[in-house]
Amino acid sequence: MEKLLLEMRGITKVFPGVKALKDVNLAVPQGEIRGLIGENGAGKSTLMNVLMGIYKAEQGELFLDGEKIEISSPAEAIAKGIGMVPQELNLNPYVSVAENIFLGNEIKNKFGMINWEKTKKEAVKVMNIIGLNIDPSDIVYRLSTAQQQLIQLSRVLATGAKLLIFDEPTASLTTQETEVLLKLMKKLQVQGKTIVFITHHLEELLAVTDRITIMRDGQVVYEDDTVNMNESLLIEHMAGKKVVKTERAIRELKPDILLKIENFSREKEFSEVSFEVRKGEIFGIGGLVGSGRTELISAIFGITKKSTGQIYIDGKEVEIKNPTQAISLGMGFVPEERRNHGIFPMLSVRENMVISSLNEIFNGLFLKKEKARSVTNSYIEKIRIKTPSTETQIKSLSGGNQQKVILARWLARESKILFLDEPTRGIDVNAKSEIYSLIHQLTKEGMTVIIVSSEHEELLLLADRIMVMHEGRVKGIEDAAKMKQQDILEIALK
Ligand SMILES: Nc1ncnc2c1ncn2[C@@H]1O[C@H](COP(=O)(O)OP(=O)(O)OP(=O)(O)O)[C@@H](O)[C@H]1O
């Protein structure tokens, strides 16, 4: 028998109105990479948070290396060799790499002062484990997201963790960066680490894990060695039913141009971008991370200033100096960093869905409560938002369900032109399909959508045409129906 490193037995965790975990068992042998998957709200993060001592389970037992343990705080989990690389970066951007790696775990001299020389030396040692070649004195905000994530991983390794939990670590990485991270997991496995890997990307799980555990509604519903798994099996067990794979819809578009962008430029971000979008069209913008896509749509929407060029709506030139003007012209915008820019954590699901800014609350513009409740309920159903009620505080929803609420906020406003930046990041595969059909339906009813996505598959499935950008320039605009996945990269790099 393989030696178990981790065993969670009969874990039950209740939140007000939700039984988040029901008698969950998870046993992970030493040295294994275990995949953990399930729809948004299935209980994956809660289970890991119990292990990290962030939540206390009502029932259940934990064993590490065969020994029964109690964990009542993250510090205790870390002291026992358990570390979590969280979904959201939580580094201090204004201090050095070395300080970040040893944050909360400072190396001190005999006088209790931080020993900087040793901190830097040790930081380099830890970074070497994962082949990260960064100056330990560099300030973190200058690094790319991928590098920051590796610093976060280094911080966990610096604690001497033997069990590493990766909670959706690839959500904001490019395909190449993801590959690097997956290879790194394999490398850490060879070095004797045990890994629990949570992701919504099935292909990543199938590529890197030894065994996969599937959760649904707070329970483990299926588990098998990865060699016996495939994508449709995973999807089926996650949903608890047969799921029909989304196909490209056949769509007919009218020729009327709704939005025209001409010679749009913003220093250092993008230059001389011109394109036209038809009424009811889904216009995809693809390219590598850092190609200027987010910057472009942020400038069109008036979030960033000092761009040059012209914007026409229905043939008429318009000026957009700020988002309020954009909204009054019938535009909507779902930002990439929803958790920083999009959510009012203390407010309810209903309030989060029906307001687009706090101004609207103050100005009394928001919908009447009853109407709002019914709109909210209809979206809860349409894209299956998992929440005890419309009045639940949004912060108590799972990450993916919070994303769905913010997306629904803009879908519900039925803007004339909706900008979506990475709309399905963190959203499970089945919910993605539901969101795609909703977007299709809304565009049939006349809405126009401009979508930035790093998931090429998503653009190919959803968009009518795809504009590929690279280093701030348009490299091509093509009919999506005629494109294959690799075309986007090829056009970007040609
Ligand atoms: N702090 C909390 N208070 C109340 N309910 C919570 C809290 N945290 C999680 N829940 C609920 O527990 C359930 C499981 O959530 P959890 O975050 O574990 O899901 P998940 O599988 O990680 O989802 P995702 O893929 O969206 O990250 C959800 O119904 C969620 O609303």
* Residue minimizing CA distance to atom 18 of ligand 1: 43
In 56-210, which ranges are E strands?
A: 59-64, 67-69, 82-85, 163-167, 194-198
pLDDT one-digit tens code per residue, 313-371:
999 999 999 988 998 999 988 887 665 667 888 889 988 888 754 444 444 455 567 77
Residue at 251 is within a domain: no
Which CATH number goes with the domain that contains 402?
3.40.50.300
pLDDT reported for residue 340: 61
Using CA of residue 156, residue 158, residue 159, residue 163, what is the dihedral sign?
positive
pLDDT at position 295, please?
92
First to last CA, the chain: 53
The secondary structure of the chain in percent helix, strand, coil, rounded to multiples of 5, reads 35, 25, 35
> What pLDDT score was predicted for residue 357?
45
Question: How many A from CA of 128 to the centre of ligand 1?
Answer: 35
Q: Take atom 12 of ligand 1 and give the residue whose Cα is closest.
A: 20
Same-domain status, 181 and 48: yes
- Using the mean position of ligand 1's atoms as its centre, give its distance from the Cα of residue 15 in Å: 9
Residues 440 and 389 in one domain: yes
Cα of 115 vs centre of ligand 1, distance in Å, is 40
Residues 57 and 176 reside in one and the same domain: yes
Residue nearest to atom 19 of ligand 1 (CA): 41
Helical axes 399-413 vs 429-444, angle rounded to 10°:
0
Ligand 1, atom nearest to 16 Cα: 4
Could you list the residue range(s) of the whole structural domain that residue 294 is in?
A: 257-493
User: What is the model's pTM?
Assistant: 0.83
Probe target for ligand 1 pocket from 13, 18, 196, 432, with the most ligand atoms within 8 Å of CB: 18
Residues in a beta bridge with 266: 270
Buried b (16+ CB within 10 A) or exposed e, 141-159: eebeebbbbbbbbbbbbbb
Ligand 1 pocket by C-beta < 6 Å: which residues?
A: 15, 18, 20, 38, 40-46, 386, 396-401, 428
pLDDT at position 308 is 94
Note the pLDDT of residue 394.
Answer: 92
Q: Distance between CA 26 and CA 23 in Å, rounded?
A: 10
**Atom 2 (ligand 1) nearest CA:** 396
Same domain, yes or no, for 359 and 467?
Answer: yes
Is 245 within the bounds of a domain? no
Residue where a domain stops, chosen among 206, 239, 272: 239
pLDDT of residue 338: 61
At 230, list the tokens.
Answer: 């495939």
Residue ranges with strand state E in 383-483: 417-421, 448-452, 465-470, 473-479
Q: Given ligand 1 and candidates 396, 425, 427, which is best to mutate, with the most ligand atoms within 8 Å of its CB?
A: 396
Q: Strands 270-278, 257-266: parallel, antiparallel or unpaired by DSSP? A: antiparallel
Cβ(20)–Cβ(14) below 8 Å: yes
In a domain, 335, yes or no: yes
Count of domains for the chain: 2
Please report the pLDDT score of residue 366 as a whole number.
52
Does 93 fall in a domain? yes
- DSSP strand pairing (82-85 vs 33-38): unpaired
Interatomic CA distance for residues 426 and 170, integer angstroms: 10
Does the structure's ipTM exceed the value 0.85?
Answer: yes
Which atom in ligand 1 lies closest to the alpha carbon of residue 46? 18
Same domain assignment for residues 217 and 286:
no
Q: Which residues pair with 216 in a beta bridge?
A: 219
DSSP string, 310-332: EEEETTEEE---SHHHHHHTTEE
Rounded Cα gap, residues 283 and 300, in angstroms? 15
| 250 part of a folded domain | no
d(CA 449, CA 284): 8
DSSP tag of 395: G
Are residues 147 and 290 located together in one domain of the fold?
A: no
- Nearest atom of ligand 1 to the alpha carbon of 400: 26
- In this structure, the residue with its CA closest to atom 7 of ligand 1 is 396
**Residues 170 and 275 occupy one common structural domain:** no
Mean pLDDT of successive 10-residue stretches along the chain, which has 494 residues: 90 91 97 96 95 95 95 94 86 90 82 83 89 89 84 90 91 78 93 95 94 96 96 91 76 89 93 95 88 92 92 95 91 76 83 65 55 84 88 89 86 86 86 85 89 90 94 94 87 84
Nearest to 388 by CA among 347, 433, 335, 349: 349
